Amino acid sequence: MNIQQHIISNLPVFDVSTTCGEIMEFFKENTYSHIAIMEKDRFLGVFSENDMDVVSSDSKMNEYRYDLETFFVRKETSWLDVLEVFARNEANLVPILDEVERVEGYYDLTDIVAVFIDTPFFTDPGNILVVATGIKNYSFSEISQIVESNNARFLGGFITDMQNDVVQVTIKISTSNFDKVVQTFRRYNYQIIFGNSDDQFIEDLKNRSDYLDKYLNV
């Protein structure tokens, strides 16, 4: 999946010698959570809008260089890994670095989530099934095998929760033999969290899933 077409190249990269007042103005005029800071044309880190309350407008960013965060992605970073960077850092803007640590542009969270929602997982017809099992027993290959052993097609899946040694996986499968698939998962000691063939579930997953809300509500 190509997300490079969503690179934003018209947003600033501030030098470490910039006054905090200039960066304050940027955050006032935009809704972004972070902005990149450079030193001698190389990436130094990102400054968070949340930290603006603890800086003075006439000071320079160099005074706060050790407060900068250092997350970024590369142009070749996969879209799933880009989403993970957004989520881990509670950001809605992530800088993209080239091979010599220059900032080539940014990814906007809204654009990347839109790419995710436009994938066949959401757009193609099929049934949604949410299963849970112990982390030690978890195997994506087994999940796929259970689906396909019942002459159903595995259309996609991703981990939607992982805590207390339990992993929860949301999968999408073809409509054929859905009940048999569910029964087989139970025989393999998977807990069935949700199983629904109604297309409305897709809208619920888009709008209310904790997994997507983690990104959309940053």
User: Is 52 a residue whose pLDDT tops 50?
Assistant: yes
The reported pLDDT for the residue numbered 80 is 77
CA distance 134 to 142: 13
* Banded model confidence at residue 216, pLDDT cuts 50, 70, 90: low
Per cent of the chain over pLDDT 90 is 58
CA distance 103 to 82: 16
The reported pLDDT for the residue numbered 214 is 58
List Cα–Cα distances, 94 to 25, 46, 54, 194, 215, in angstroms.
19, 9, 22, 34, 13
Please state the φ and ψ torsions of residue 106, each to the nearest 5 degrees: -140, 155
CA distance 155 to 208: 21
Domains and CATH numbers, the chain: 4-116 (3.10.580.10), 120-216 (3.30.70.260)
According to DSSP, the β-strands at 34-39 and 14-15 are: parallel
> Which tokens sit at 175?
């409509």
